[in-house]
Each structure stands twice: as structure tokens, then as C-alpha cells.
Amino acid sequence: MEIERKFLPKELPFHLEDHPHIQMEQGYLCTAPVVRVRREGGQYVLTYKSSGMMAREEYNLPLTRQAYEHLAEKIDGCLIKKTRYRIPLDNGLTAELDVFLPPHAPLKLLEVEFPNKESALSFEPPSWFGDDVTFDPRYHNSNMIHITKWQAQLSSPSSHS
């Protein structure tokens, strides 16, 4: 089970290079349900995610580089490229800050994973976390793969409740 909240940071109170980071790319073979392939450094993974916003089932299976490259040729939309920074928080939590490369730049998106729904709902984010977009589907990576459609959605008011 993946339980996470997402935020749009406005300003960062630190230098990014002070935190561990890794280059990532990911593409989506299907978005309902979500079936994703990802390269994270030298690791390759196939991921299945059920529907949901804050909490959903998630299964990861390792891939070889060759299998990843084969599947990446079959993705819908664009390949998402980003640098992920891991920033320690209180209570043993970690903020994962994704800094997106074009065509999604200058987007920055923070995610924090939680052990259960109660801790996710009671989490008090630091002020630099910015707006909570957990329930805004525009910020699910699987909705960002069709760049023209995604950019149009960003310019319209949020549809989350």
C-alpha cells in the first residue's frame, strides 16, 4: 500500500546539492490501472498502481535494462524525466522532491510517504511545502504524459475538492 501526500513547494529553504539525489525517467504503458516503467539510476522497475489519490495498492517488479528499454518504446505519451532529492524530515519521514526536466520544467513536486492513513492525515507540513495537491489529479505523473493536455489543465482552475 502506498500512502502519500503531495505538495507544490514555492521556495526551498536549502541548497538542493546538499541532499542525496538520483536521475529518474519513467513512462506509462497504461494509466487505468497505472502500469509504469522506471529507470532510477541503474535500477529498472515495472510498477502497478491501483486507482486512488492518497492511498492505493502498489506493486514493484524488477526489470533488466533490456526489458526496460523494450517496454519504454511502448509507452503512451512522453517519457517523464526528473531529478529526485531525498530530504529528511522529523519523525523518520523523508520528503522526495522531484525537479522535472523539460517539457515539465520548471515543475517541482514534493511527496511524503506515510506508514498509515492516520499519520498522513495528521501530518503538519513545513511552510515551505506550499500548496497541498494530494487530491488534485493534475499532479499524478500518470496524468502528465500528454504534455499539451496537461499544460491546458494546469491553466484551468483545480478540479479537486
Query: Distance between CA atoms of 141 and 36, rounded to whole angstroms?
Result: 10
Which residues are known catalytic residues? 28
> How many CB atoms are located within 10 Å of the residue 1 CB?
11
111-160 per-position pLDDT tens digit? 999 999 999 999 999 999 999 999 999 999 999 998 878 888 888 765 54
Which of 1, 6, 35, 2 shows the shortest CA–CA distance to 131? 6
The CATH class for the domain spanning 2-154 reads mainly beta
pLDDT at 6 over 70: yes
For the beta carbon of residue 82, count every other beta carbon within 10 angstroms: 21
Q: What is the pLDDT of residues 73-122, one digit of tens each?
A: 999 999 999 999 999 998 899 999 999 999 999 999 999 999 999 999 99
Assign residue 41 a region: left if phi > 0, alpha if psi is -120 to 50, beta otherwise?
left
Contact (CB, 8 A) for 119 and 52: no
- The domain locations on the chain are 2-154
Is a pLDDT exceeding 80 seen at residue 14? yes
